[in-house]
């Protein structure tokens, strides 16, 4: 979510897109770049949800363009 510009996504104002918000609310271990094994399932689940949101946006945009 922090790489929204690189990935060509729109800025929606979501807290996950705000670097300062993310840094203030992240775990110290995660802030150093380490990922604990116990936290891996949450990361994987978030990534899957992010991919779903991207796919839904793409489909909605295609439907909107087809309607025009």
Q: Are residues 9 and 19 in the same domain?
A: yes
Q: Given pLDDT bands bounded at 50, 70 and 90, which one contains residue 35?
A: low
Q: What is the pLDDT of residue 54?
A: 92
Q: Are residues 13 and 26 in the same domain?
A: yes
Q: What is the pLDDT of residue 58?
A: 94
Q: Are residues 3 and 14 in the same domain?
A: yes
Would the pTM of this model clear 0.75, i.e. be above it? no
Q: Are residues 68 and 51 in the same domain?
A: yes
Q: What is the pLDDT of residue 65?
A: 94
Mean pLDDT value across residues 45-57: 85
* Structural domain boundaries, residue 9: 1-34
Q: Are residues 30 and 46 in the same domain?
A: no
> 3-class secondary structure for 4-37?
CCCCCCCCCCCHHHCHHHHHHHCCHHHHCCCCCH
Mean pLDDT value across residues 30-53: 66
């Amino acid at each position: 979510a922090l790489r929204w510009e690189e990935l060509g996504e729109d800025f929606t104002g979501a807290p996950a897109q705000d670097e300062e918000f993310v840094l203030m609310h992240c775990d110290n271990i995660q802030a150093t770049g380490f990922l604990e094994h116990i936290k891996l399932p949450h990361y994987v689940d978030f990534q899957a949800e992010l991919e779903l949101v991207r796919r839904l946006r793409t489909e909605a945009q295609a439907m909107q363009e087809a309607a025009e």
